[in-house]
Amino acid sequence: MKFPVQAKAAAALAIFAEDFHVSVKTVQEYCARIKEKLRLANATELLREAVRWHDAKSSGQGLTLYVVIVPND
């Protein structure tokens, strides 16, 4: 049984994967690789780093930040 937060996270991953024409498994694998390379412990730290990176890069450039929060990481 999926809880509401998990269902929303799964739906967000599916939307992200569809937008980039890759599988959900691919999105999950890349998240895991990024966390490993950046030595981040969980999805919360990954989100914090993504927001920090986006803020640094997007000053006036109109970049879009996709945020997917996956619980139980």
Residue with tokens 């890759």: 22
Cβ burial of 1 (10 Å; 0-12, 13-18, 19+) is exposed
pLDDT for the residue 63: 58
Output the pLDDT for position 8. Answer: 72
And the tokens for 25? 């498994």
Look at 27 and 72; give whichever has higher pLDDT.
27
Model confidence over 11-70: pLDDT tens digits? 888 888 898 999 999 988 988 899 999 999 988 888 888 888 877 777 656 656 666 655
Q: In the prediction, which pLDDT does 48 show?
A: 86
